Amino acid sequence: MMKKTIFLVIAMVLAVNAGCLFTPRDAEEPGEDTDPWTVPLVPKDVFVNLSSGFHAIANSNFERSLSDEFEFIARPIDWPDFVAWDKADEMAFLDRLKGDYTGERTIQFGDQFGIFTDRMEGVTEAWYEGEYLITLDPGDGSDPDIFAGIARFYLEKGSVGWVMTRWDDLDVSSDEYATATFLRKTFQ
């Protein structure tokens, strides 16, 4: 009886190892609107992910780049009765914005080379101060809307990398464009 049991166990092990009931499927080809994620090993990687999340149809990179405690601080002259703006407000704003601006959307942090006018980079905290530029194409053939200003962006290192904790909208970068505060107030 013992020999039969051992024989059956060996036969079953050989049968299982001989073939698999399931065959692996081929990987799916990436779509046109991929949302590539850069592991935020350094603070500036957050800006790469925010930019790709802003551009893409999906919000995943943008949302993953904001801490749960994220807050936007409005420029007082643009929004005198501003109260508070947290991560949930930011994501609702982004959904509404992407619904209205179906063409290309870009956000640039720093100047055209990604350089900020001032910064502090620590081991677990960092901030960058400088220009930003938001370009929104309505997708209907009309000219894009442009928003620009100067802000200070606060970041911190968490267990899965760097995230943005705060965006302080400080000033205009030119009299030609409204600020991110004005844009958010419009979509509140």
> Residue 60 corresponds to which tokens in the numbers above?
């995943």
- 164 part of a folded domain: yes
What is the domain extent for residue 86?
39-186
- 112 part of a folded domain: yes
Secondary structure in 3-state letters for 122-157: CCCEEEEEEEEEEEECCCCCCCCEEEEEEEEEEEEE
CA distance 157 to 56: 24
In a 3-state reduction of DSSP, which class is residue 121? Answer: strand
- 29 part of a folded domain: no
Give 7-16 pLDDT, tens digit per residue: 555 655 555 4
The structural domain count of the chain equals 1
Give 5-43 pLDDT, tens digit per residue: 555 556 555 554 554 444 443 443 444 446 789 999 999
- 168 part of a folded domain: yes
**DSSP letter, residue 37:** P
- 2 part of a folded domain: no
- 1 part of a folded domain: no
Task: Please check whether residue 46 is in contact with residue 60, taking contact to mean a CB–CB distance below 8 angstroms.
Answer: no
- 150 part of a folded domain: yes
- Considering the entire predicted model, what is its pTM? 0.81
CA distance 23 to 115: 49
CA distance 174 to 61: 29
Give the pLDDT confidence score for residue 36 in this predicted structure.
87
- 83 part of a folded domain: yes
* Residues 123-148, mean pLDDT to the nearest whole number: 97
Task: Please check whether residue 128 is in contact with residue 116, taking contact to mean a CB–CB distance below 8 angstroms.
Answer: yes
153: CATH: 3.10.450.50
Residue 71 φ/ψ, nearest 5 degrees: -145, 145
